[in-house]
Structure 1
């Protein structure tokens, strides 16, 4: 009987501890927008960390309500441009984000349309904007 009560008490304590930990943790990243068109004509990734650079994002119609004034002190932003594509069906985004002691490692995921899939035959420039809730150095893979 005592063992059963101890086991129940231990289970309750462990359950309480994990829920408090989750409530305190902050999401490491957030995809603010992922669009199939509207990016740059060339493939490049850009890290925005200075207030002036971040203010430029706040002027974008798709992002203006997603970036707050205090984000310039607590977050970095990453713009992922896939470059010009001759048809629809391409996407660029984030596969994973990992935080180490010294930096943040972002793994980019690029998706092409499946062979034989019907797509629009027009020029597209896919892009993605990601908010990183850290001011650590960012490495993009």
Structure 2
């Protein structure tokens, strides 16, 4: 699969391509993003230098959390959205957050059953 830009359209294009994969291939992607969120993002998206640096500095606890949520969405072919407004000019701090409406259940099988949507949102403080 071709790399996509880290934009709302690029994320949607990547999700669309992923969800065309076979169940086995998609499960491999789900396991990969859960194992190493940062590496998966770098392998699947064209990042600007600033985006790459920001990703490198992302706390390991939060990247593990993002990877786990993304993995569940992949396994269930659930929507993942990105809200990424243009940054302000001048000095600012960038925040990355995730919110979801995921409902996850397990019947003891290998893959959790889930419904809902995962949204990643970048916000800025000046």
**TM-score w.r.t. structure 2 length?**
0.31
Tell which structure's C-alpha radius of gyration is larger. Answer: 1
**TM-score w.r.t. structure 1 length?**
0.29
Q: Which has the higher contact order (CA 8 A, sep 6+)?
A: 1
